[in-house]
Structure 1
Amino acid sequence: MLTTLYKKLQSVTSKLNIIQCNSLSFIWVSALVFTACFNIAFFAKVIDALSMNNKDDYLLFGSFIIFIFCVLNILFTLFFVKPIRKPLLVILLCCSALGSYFSLFYGIYIDNDMLVNIFQTNTYEAITLLNGKLVLWFIIFGLLPSLFVIFFIKVKKISFLKSATLRTVNILISVAILGALYFSLPGEYSFFLKTNKSTLKLISPTNYIYALGDMVNKHYKSEVPFTHIGEDAKRKIATNPQKKKLIIIVVGETSRAQNFSLNGYERETNPLLSKQSNLFNFEHASSCGTATAISVPCMFSNMPRKSFDRTLAINEDNVLDIIARTGVNVYWKDNDSNCKEVCNRVPTLEINKTEPAELCKGGLCYDIQLLNGLDQYINERTDDTVIVIHTNGSHGPAYHERYQKDQEKFTPACKSTEIDSCSQQELVNAYDNTIVNVDFVLNSTIELLKKHSDQFSTAMLYMSDHGESLGEDGFYLHGAPYRIAPKQQTHIPMIFWLSDSFMNNHRINKTCLADKAKNDQNVSHDNLFHTVLGALDVSTKEYDPSLDIFKSCEYE
């Protein structure tokens, strides 16, 4: 059927005036189109970075245009050969149309981490990113140019020798121009690249081509034997009878500390948590990454952020594996895209997204559904237990779908996934309502733990995986390269609730922990691995007491 349709289209277009060109013209025009149409976000960042108030700034800006054209000219000369030049160009047009849209309108930088996050996004999240502006942008810059290339452009044939000669000369001229550009402004280039290195991740199509190559390379690197760590782990046996421990770890999603009233935000987004006793809100916590695919594995790994390697992390034991080997009941329940390979070796359940109807609609469940069934599960436990619930939290761009109607405290709220079309206040209103929902879910979790406090010594540990940008400095959503990521994407909420029996068992000085929560500037995802081990009295050489949140506040 497709073959027949293609032949009919060819028959129609053959009667039209087809544009004929030689292979070099095809390459030059392609390089010019990509330079001008798909690198607007890069040029905008260059203008922001330069003062643009003297001749040297304009020369440097102009040189970047020529630089990108020459680089693309070289690449296209090497790879745009018959019979793959048209299919390859079509693929690049479509991919660049999508990439340039998110870079231009949401401030998204495309690198390996971003591609990993994209490939691990579930269908529902992908659908929420679709909007009318994106579709129109793709049609104008991706689909229509592709159809034009396929049906209206004909590249004239020339001999292999002539083609090779012309291509060689073309590459040599481009290389010479690049050299001349660099050596004419060596100091300016060096300074710009040193201070704005991440901006290169906006250059299309080299950004996603390089990122894809890096991701494939790391995939093959990941095919290595799995490494077990913490095999010496043992739980200390209490000399006196005491309650078993029940810890619920809540993995937040896309919630930023800035919008928590517990952290001084002027709006009351935490009305329920603010009334809880034994609640310790760490005001200065930071994330390991700016995307779920990086942050979640990092949270449960023993690798600190500065040396974290996702490929290595998913191929070795994490804290859940270690504690499970000591006999702790471990259970992961998910309401997000997935556990990013953290829960591969422990019992796991993705919530039923079809019922009850009031909590799950259109493939999305409200996070409160994660608590459904946990009461029965807890009643059946007789040993130390750790439950991890992975929330959908404040994930954008469909913020308005993350909370129930009675939680819409701030209005008018943005009800569109085309978030840059909403006013700033509407966007913030919708996002703040998601934090009200987070408050409700965390408070409900605490109340569930209180219900079982006669049977267990209970605690809740909450950390968001990363934050979110709401248009500040031109950034939306998340996933910016860490070295340039705005604070909104790395400053995360981190909240611990501890029962009296838990604090007594661990001899925790409440005043000390409250002071640490308020003033410690160094708390981060790095602390989770060691804090969980310490909370369960697990001894292993992998445990670092200096990173255990509770250890420094123990009294004799």
Structure 2
Amino acid sequence: MKIFKDIYRWCLQPCHLFFLTIITLMLPNVALCITERMPLMAALANILLPGGIYWLLMTLAKKPGKAIWWLFFFVFLAAFQLVLLYLFGRSIIAVDMFLNLITTNPGEAMELLDNIAPAVVGVFVIYLPLLALGVMSVCGKKELDKSFIRKQRSVGYAIIALGLVSLAGSYVSDKAYRAELDLYPANVLYNIVLAGERTYQTAHYTETSKGFTFHARQTLSESEKEVYVMIIGETARACEFQLYGYNRPTTPLLSKEDNLVAFTNVLSQSNTTHKSVPMLMSAASAVDYDRIYREKGIIEAFKEAGFHTVFISNQQPNHSFIDFFGEEADEWKFIKEDSEDGRNTPDTEMITMLNKVLDKGRNKEFIVLHSYGSHFNYHDRYPRNAAFFQPDDATEVKKENREQLINAYDNTIRYTDRFLHGVVDALKRHGAISAMIYTSDHGENIFDDDRNLFLHASPTPSYYELHVPFLVWTSDRYNSAFPNMQDILKSNRKKPLASSASLFHSMLGIAGIETPYLADSLNVGSPKLHSAPRRYLSDHNKAVTLDKAGLGEKDFRLLRQHHVDYK
């Protein structure tokens, strides 16, 4: 106990606490110099300029504890940044991460926090004692003497001057360098401003899209019974589907479906749900994302064409475009909204709801199902009797648990297989002209290689987050009404697609809906489908090539291995 008392007394010395605070605040800067592989001048700027500013700010109070609490926001950012580096291995706190804080429901957040204990405990060990020492400093009598403050103030100015020289050198030596992108925490503050702007734009979507129309119309007779189902999966990566050559039986039911076409060359344009799903539900894509603020979603197009529309989600509403587009339907339901005990509802529960909709017997029906799929925590996404691959009960986020995490993840894919097969069976029983399209918003990292990446939504995506399944099923009656469609689908199955760009156009095209907004070049059901350059929607909503998005040689090698085009 004596050693702890000695450490405690040492830390409470004002001059020691002064330097200790600067060191702890600078930990993210040092870590980012390494993880981002910064050039020398950029690394010096990233250390010297923020360090000098912190140094100077610490001289503004005689009691260091006051300065610590004045800098509380930066203490919080530092802790947040270190946790994200633990999870993703690199990158600053991105715009999308701030938006994820707003759009992720508390249950999901707690599931994640419960299973990243090492990172959370680590930052608590570093930063909570600092804050506690700050309180004790404020309440205590010890102060920095004036000569110390004057001396350190001079040192702070000198370090800032060196930092500014390094910053100028960074601009000169690297034409792509930007302080708002490459200097921590200036880049995080910039991202906070952008997150605020996007939140404002999203909140005013109803106003900015008011009066928009697709001028959509149906091509089949009103007396023909048609049912079209669009299913948006969650965190499903193509490489784990038996249909795509995976060596485990993860899709045993779908593998037996004769009228199912699996598109193999499909990439998502975003690894974040709050951007990917809205793109899947609208005409927006990476190259024209801003149209999302002006236009309505695919449900509105089907409504204009005379279809009754239904949106069913097995996720919580989160005041994002997912909600806005879903609530444009004639009927909409967020299953988890009614869950009083916070339980996780299996996706198959949506099949019961689907059958109730189909039993109404309406001639024109369009249904969008948003599943919970393979979202972490994996073993909570399927009932215990569906645990085919075992053991599967390890949930703590660490490399040593990969085998069990993969077993649990593969069980979620196998359960998705059961869910999709159930939807197909429901459509078969209904007997209408019907089709189903399924794709996932993005994939997931599960400690797949020596990078030790986990989860998704890092500003620098990987192969595992982008290669997604894209499945189209058509009924026998549909194939009789459109006898060439299966041949067209099969001829297109290996062409490069962006799921975020193609789902909207493919769903409308396969349903035979005409609108000036339909692009056959993006429609998998059209002989005019052709490949477009691969683009990824960056954290700052710019359409960038995959190499600019941050994919490395490992990712490009995996893309080649799975016969996925990437240029």
TM-score, structure 2 as length reference: 0.78
Q: Secondary structure at the match of 1:302?
A: coil
Where does structure 1 lack aligned partners over 5 or more consecutive residues? 1-15, 51-56
Counterpart of 1:349, as a letter, is K
Q: 2:272 aligns with which of 251, 275, 291?
A: 291
CA–CA distance in 1 between the matches of 2:229 and 2:60? 58
Pairing 1:145-156 to 2, within 5 Å after superposition = 145-152=130-137, 156=143
Counterpart position of 2:242: 261
CA–CA distance in 1 between the matches of 2:56 and 2:481? 70
Q: Secondary structure at the match of 1:130?
A: helix
CA–CA distance in 2 between the matches of 1:142 and 1:242? 67
Question: Given the alignment of the two structures, is residue 410 of structure 1 paired with residue 389 of structure 2, yes or no?
Answer: yes
Contact conserved, 2:263 with 2:470, CA < 8 A, in 1?
yes
Q: 2:467 aligns with which of 491, 503, 511?
A: 491
CA–CA distance in 1 between the matches of 2:364 and 2:356? 16
Pairing 1:374-413 to 2, within 5 Å after superposition = 374-396=354-376, 398-413=377-392
Counterpart of 1:263, as a letter, is Y
Counterpart position of 1:328: 307
Cα deviation digits, residues 232-284 of structure 1 (max 9, x gap):
52323536x76321111111000101111111111121111101110011111
| CA-CA distance at 1:539 after TM superposition | 2.2
RMSD: 3.6
Q: Secondary structure at the match of 1:365?
A: coil
CA–CA distance in 1 between the matches of 2:401 and 2:10? 47
Contact conserved, 2:94 with 2:188, CA < 8 A, in 1?
yes
Counterpart of 2:25, as a letter, is F
| CA-CA distance at 1:450 after TM superposition | 0.7
Counterpart of 2:286, as a letter, is R
Counterpart of 2:80, as a letter, is L
Moved more, 108-117 or 118-127: 108-117
Counterpart of 2:86, as a letter, is L
Question: Given the alignment of the two structures, is residue 71 of structure 1 paired with residue 47 of structure 2, yes or no?
Answer: no
Q: Secondary structure at the match of 1:118?
A: helix
Question: Given the alignment of the two structures, is residue 234 of structure 1 paired with residue 216 of structure 2, yes or no?
Answer: yes
Q: 1:121 aligns with which of 104, 108, 113?
A: 104
Counterpart of 2:278, as a letter, is P
Question: Given the alignment of the two structures, is residue 459 of structure 1 paired with residue 450 of structure 2, yes or no?
Answer: no
Contact conserved, 1:393 with 1:438, CA < 8 A, in 2?
yes
TM-score, structure 1 as length reference: 0.80
Counterpart position of 2:79: 97
Contact conserved, 2:242 with 2:251, CA < 8 A, in 1?
yes
| CA-CA distance at 1:210 after TM superposition | 2.8
| CA-CA distance at 1:211 after TM superposition | 2.1
Q: Secondary structure at the match of 2:326?
A: coil
| CA-CA distance at 1:68 after TM superposition | 2.4
| CA-CA distance at 1:30 after TM superposition | 3.3
CA–CA distance in 2 between the matches of 1:361 and 1:407? 22
Counterpart position of 1:445: 423
CA–CA distance in 1 between the matches of 2:170 and 2:522? 47
Q: Secondary structure at the match of 2:309?
A: strand
Q: 1:512 aligns with which of 466, 483, 488?
A: 488
| CA-CA distance at 1:120 after TM superposition | 0.7
Counterpart position of 2:503: 528
Question: Given the alignment of the two structures, is residue 351 of structure 1 paired with residue 335 of structure 2, yes or no?
Answer: yes
Contact conserved, 2:59 with 2:153, CA < 8 A, in 1?
no
| CA-CA distance at 1:408 after TM superposition | 1.8
CA–CA distance in 2 between the matches of 1:537 and 1:84? 67
CA–CA distance in 2 between the matches of 1:114 and 1:18? 34
Question: Given the alignment of the two structures, is residue 271 of structure 1 paired with residue 261 of structure 2, yes or no?
Answer: no
Moved more, 220-229 or 259-268: 220-229
Counterpart position of 1:9: none
Contact conserved, 1:94 with 1:143, CA < 8 A, in 2?
no
Contact conserved, 2:14 with 2:137, CA < 8 A, in 1?
no
| CA-CA distance at 1:299 after TM superposition | 1.1
CA–CA distance in 2 between the matches of 1:95 and 1:490? 28
Contact conserved, 2:33 with 2:46, CA < 8 A, in 1?
no
Question: Given the alignment of the two structures, is residue 550 of structure 1 paired with residue 525 of structure 2, yes or no?
Answer: yes
Moved more, 168-177 or 403-412: 168-177
CA–CA distance in 2 between the matches of 1:422 and 1:262? 28
CA–CA distance in 2 between the matches of 1:81 and 1:546? 62
Q: Secondary structure at the match of 2:208?
A: coil
Taking a change above 3 Å as real, the CA distance of residues 407 and 553 of structure 1, as seen in their structure-2 partners, is farther
CA–CA distance in 2 between the matches of 1:307 and 1:232? 17
Counterpart of 2:275, as a letter, is I
Q: Secondary structure at the match of 1:332?
A: strand
Contact conserved, 1:469 with 1:478, CA < 8 A, in 2?
yes
Counterpart position of 1:369: 349
Counterpart position of 1:8: none
Q: Secondary structure at the match of 1:395?
A: coil
Q: Secondary structure at the match of 2:502?
A: helix
Percentage of pairs with the same residue: 23
CA–CA distance in 1 between the matches of 2:276 and 2:166? 40
Length, aligned pairs only: 504
Counterpart of 1:210, as a letter, is Y
| CA-CA distance at 1:395 after TM superposition | 0.5
CA–CA distance in 1 between the matches of 2:307 and 2:522? 21
Taking a change above 3 Å as real, the CA distance of residues 121 and 184 of structure 1, as seen in their structure-2 partners, is closer
Q: Secondary structure at the match of 2:442?
A: coil
Q: 2:405 aligns with which of 408, 411, 427?
A: 427
Q: 1:112 aligns with which of 64, 79, 95?
A: 95
Contact conserved, 1:252 with 1:390, CA < 8 A, in 2?
yes
| CA-CA distance at 1:166 after TM superposition | 8.6
CA–CA distance in 2 between the matches of 1:107 and 1:204? 16
CA–CA distance in 2 between the matches of 1:463 and 1:108? 28
| CA-CA distance at 1:293 after TM superposition | 0.4
| CA-CA distance at 1:291 after TM superposition | 0.9
Taking a change above 3 Å as real, the CA distance of residues 79 and 440 of structure 1, as seen in their structure-2 partners, is farther
CA–CA distance in 1 between the matches of 2:68 and 2:31? 26
| CA-CA distance at 1:314 after TM superposition | 4.5
Contact conserved, 2:268 with 2:276, CA < 8 A, in 1?
yes
